[in-house]
């Protein structure tokens, strides 16, 4: 039994004892006690950076938590850093990536390939943004040891009553083994938010309805879920075409829910595997205990239909390794199997983690060994295996699952889509984010086409760029004053689901960890609640320590709201799509939240149709919106159905649209009252075809 599994079982036993399940007095009195200026619960990257910052400010600090390893996901396979705009990653967070660069500047760091063979290593760069897990862990271990920061590992919070609070202040926290840690300030740096919950702080799990904060990308999302989607209409039933035979595994019964409505569901988790094709360092995938090939029947059907998506995210890391991430319709994301994880007991979480590990080990074993899998896929995947020199104490398996989202604190201020897109001001910034508003799929369900034919769909995937870097507010790191006055939360911060989808990146967590620790130290100096820290002093210290708090507004992409336009306007989100269209917002100008493109593939199999309701018969000017670029198709066929028949116009999407840089005219046509159709085709095109929206203006 490996170390991680022993730790899990020990935690379960302790939890049972604490709950009184086993009749004993295992924690009748504390085994030990210590007191510090700052107690950091959780050894994630945010927790480690917070401790380093506190020590640099002359404060006593301790890191305590269930982790056996430092760094969370940063040291557990997420080496392909989701950094967004690297220019806004500052302070100790940037210092971490610079330390990684110093490691890879040494010739001895390159054991399986030459530095010149790895294209993401550039000698002139100041930082390294893709790296091996063990290197990240070593950097953090050496860094925190150099400052003599104590770390208590395999130490699990007694969530049932281990947090002692007096007059709104956390006085101490007790672990399941009875150890007590007293502090003047506390930071919850866990991915789950266990400390904030045990302290009685408000939180949210799942997706809010759009109407709660006036957002557009929250809640149930079936229409926008076009990425990581099934490319073909795959039958969902055990016996194809026979609903009485039951659903295939990994498909959930019932409807997905009302569009834009809130629910309890959580975006999918995965282990970010570090794989390699280097023969001397490769550990082949073997059949896991409990393996059931039937769990992958849906995957098999997608492969037999012609999909090759399984190779989409073997992102290359140094020394012929990967950061293997989810990609496509059926991949390493274990969709729908984590809903209760955020608030579950330690024992239940162990069960969820083991089920995820079994699913993912089985996934790769299936692809490499099942004779029904196309031979090309089997042989190609068979060249890969786990890296022998990573996670050596844990059967080469990552020690931390990717908890993309769990609890999110609800404070007096909540970060929302509006703050990220620059539509509302963000008060008191303490760091910046810039990544896509990114939610992985949340559920897999049965849909029906116009003929009533059943097929499988994924729901919940959103990938919309906020338009540029944005600030994160200090007010999102602190609880409501009436709930707790000496706790800061840099990971499970106060944010809506869709805003959190962008904020939740490891470089940002480190940035916010540093800012949270700085605020904690200033609160001690100023003898005040964390909510009352003098922001000007906080800002001055953050800037002095290299944090980036502002980005140039002119660098933000320009989004045009449909409500600001005249006539009849439809956004790409309202189009009837045939085939899988990718959502993007990388170009500087677009309608609403972004646009879609055909990925320059499967020409003729994809189309987008707008059905416009004409309120009054008459002549209308028809206009098409698209985001231009040199890689676009030069003859995109657009067909307008009007009162006198239909007309097809070819649009050169490489050229900048002539109307406000957003629309190009397609001509004027007579329309009768009722539905009118405008269809964008991909057949015969060379280059990317883009769909952003249409506008009809009465003449």
Closest CA to 525 of 512, 538, 515: 538
Q: Which two tokens stand for residue 459?
A: 């729901």
Q: What is the dihedral of CA 280, 282, 286, 290, to 10 degrees?
A: 140
Q: What percent of the chain is helix, strand and coil (3-state, nearest 5)?
A: 25, 25, 45
Residue 447, phi then psi, degrees to nearest 5: -110, 170
Q: Is residue 649 in some structural domain?
A: yes
Q: Which two tokens stand for residue 502?
A: 């962008």
Closest CA to 118 of 393, 324, 316: 316
pLDDT range class, residue 563, cuts 50, 70, 90 = confident
Q: Is residue 493 in some structural domain?
A: no
Read off the pLDDT of residues 419-475 as tens digits, 9 standing for 90 and up: 999 989 999 999 999 998 999 999 999 999 989 999 999 999 998 888 889 999 999
Q: Is residue 580 in some structural domain?
A: yes
Q: Is residue 91 in some structural domain?
A: no
* CB distance 502 to 420 below 8 Å: yes
Q: How far apart are CA 414 and CA 405, in angstroms?
A: 16
How much is the pLDDT for 552? 60
The CATH number of whichever domain residue 594 belongs to comes to 2.60.120.260
Q: 598: which DSSP letter?
A: -
- In the chain, the largest separation of any two C-alpha atoms, in whole Å, equals 87
Read off the pLDDT of residues 9-50 as tens digits, 9 standing for 90 and up: 344 333 333 333 322 233 334 467 889 999 999 999 999 999
How much is the pLDDT for 133? 98
Number of domains in the chain: 1
Q: Is residue 462 in some structural domain?
A: no
Closest CA to 496 of 189, 267, 193, 212: 212
Read off the pLDDT of residues 108-156 as tens digits, 9 standing for 90 and up: 999 999 999 999 999 999 999 999 999 999 999 999 999 999 999 999 9
pTM of the model: 0.84
Q: How far apart are CA 337 and CA 462, in angstroms?
A: 19
Neighbours of 655 (CB within 10 A): 12
Q: Is residue 619 in some structural domain?
A: yes
Percent of the chain surpassing pLDDT 70 = 95
Q: Which two tokens stand for residue 22?
A: 């086993």
Read off the pLDDT of residues 247-259 as tens digits, 9 standing for 90 and up: 999 999 999 999 9
Matching residue, tokens 């698209």: 626
Read off the pLDDT of residues 465-489 as tens digits, 9 standing for 90 and up: 888 899 999 999 999 999 999 999 9
Closest CA to 222 of 204, 207, 211, 203: 207
Instruction: From residue 173, give the alpha-carbon distance in Å to each of 28, 189, 541.
Output: 15, 14, 29
Instruction: From residue 523, give the alpha-carbon distance in Å to each of 54, 168, 182, 531.
Output: 12, 15, 16, 9
CA angle 505, 260, 205 (to 5 degrees): 50
State the residue range of the domain holding 590.
558-698
Q: Is residue 15 in some structural domain?
A: no
């Amino acid at each position: 039994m490996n170390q991680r599994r022993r730790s899990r079982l020990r935690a379960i036993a302790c939890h049972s004892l604490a709950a009184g399940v086993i009749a004993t007095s295992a924690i009748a009195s504390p085994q030990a006690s210590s007191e510090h200026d700052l107690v950091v619960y959780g050894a994630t990257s945010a927790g480690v950076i917070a401790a380093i910052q506190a020590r640099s400010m002359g404060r006593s600090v301790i890191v305590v938590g269930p982790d056996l390893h430092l760094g969370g996901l940063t040291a557990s396979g997420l080496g392909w850093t989701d950094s967004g705009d690297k220019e806004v990653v500052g302070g100790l967070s940037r210092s971490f990536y610079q330390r990684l660069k110093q490691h890879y500047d040494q010739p001895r760091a390159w054991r399986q390939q030459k530095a010149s063979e790895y294209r993401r290593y550039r000698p002139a760069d100041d930082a390294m943004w893709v790296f091996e897990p063990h290197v990240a862990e070593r950097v953090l271990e050496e860094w925190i040891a150099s400052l003599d920061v104590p770390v208590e590992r395999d130490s699990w919070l007694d969530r049932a009553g281990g947090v002692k609070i007096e007059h709104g202040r956390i006085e101490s926290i007790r672990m399941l083994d009875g150890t007590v840690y007293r502090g003047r300030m506390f930071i919850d740096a866990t991915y789950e938010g266990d400390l904030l919950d045990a302290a009685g702080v408000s939180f949210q799990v799942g997706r809010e309805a759009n109407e709660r904060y006036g957002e557009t990308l929250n809640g149930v999302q079936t229409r926008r879920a076009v990425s990581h989607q099934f490319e073909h209409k795959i039958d969902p039933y055990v016996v194809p075409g026979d609903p009485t035979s039951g659903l295939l595994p990994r498909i959930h019964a019932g409807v997905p829910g009302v569009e834009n409505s809130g629910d309890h569901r959580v975006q999918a988790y995965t282990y970010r595997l570090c794989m390699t094709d280097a023969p001397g360092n490769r550990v082949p995938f073997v059949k896991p205990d409990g393996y059931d090939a039937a769990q992958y029947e849906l995957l098999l059907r997608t492969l037999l239909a012609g999909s090759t998506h399984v190779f989409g995210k073997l992102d290359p890391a140094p020394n012929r390794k990967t950061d293997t991430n989810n990609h496509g319709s059926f991949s390493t994301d274990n969709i729908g199997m984590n809903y209760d994880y955020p608030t579950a007991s330690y024992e239940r979480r162990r069960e969820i983690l083991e089920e995820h590990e079994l699913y993912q080990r089985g996934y790769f074993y299936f692809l490499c060994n099942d004779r029904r899998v196309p031979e090309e896929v089997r042989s190609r995947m068979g060249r890969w295996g786990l890296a022998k020199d990573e996670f050596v104490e844990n059967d080469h398996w990552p020690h931390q699952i990717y908890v993309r989202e769990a609890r999110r604190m609800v404070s007096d201020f909540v970060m929302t889509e509006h703050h990220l897109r620059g539509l509302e001001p963000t008060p008191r910034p303490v760091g910046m984010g810039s990544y896509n508003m990114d939610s992985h799929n949340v559920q897999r369900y049965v849909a029906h086409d116009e003929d009533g034919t059943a097929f499988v769909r994924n729901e919940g995937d959103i990938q919309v760029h906020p338009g540029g870097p944005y600030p994160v507010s200090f007010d999102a790191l602190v609880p409501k004053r009436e709930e707790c006055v000496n706790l800061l939360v840099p990971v499970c911060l106060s944010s809506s689901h869709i805003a959190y989808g962008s904020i939740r990146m490891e470089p940002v967590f480190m940035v916010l960890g540093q800012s949270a620790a700085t605020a904690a130290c200033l609160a001690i100096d100023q003898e005040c609640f964390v909510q009352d820290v003098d922001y000007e002093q906080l800002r001055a210290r953050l800037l002095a320590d290299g944090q980036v708090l502002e980005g140039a507004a002119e660098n933000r992409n320009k989004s045009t709201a449909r409500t600001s336009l005249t006539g009849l306007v439809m956004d790409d989100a309202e189009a009837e799509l045939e085939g899988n269209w990718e959502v993007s917002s990388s170009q500087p100008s677009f309608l609403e939240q972004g646009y879609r493109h055909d990925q320059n593939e499967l020409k003729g199999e994809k189309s987008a149709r707008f059905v416009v309701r004409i309120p009054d018969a008459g002549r209308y000017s028809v206009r098409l919106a698209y985001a231009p670029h040199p890689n676009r198709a030069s003859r995109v066929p657009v067909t307008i159905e009007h009162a006198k028949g239909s007309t097809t116009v070819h649009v050169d999407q490489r050229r900048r649209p002539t109307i406000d840089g957003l629309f190009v005219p397609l001509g004027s046509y007579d329309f009768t009252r009722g539905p009118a159709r405008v269809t964008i085709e991909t057949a015969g095109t060379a280059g990317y075809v883009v769909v952003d929206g249409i506008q009809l203006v009465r003449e």
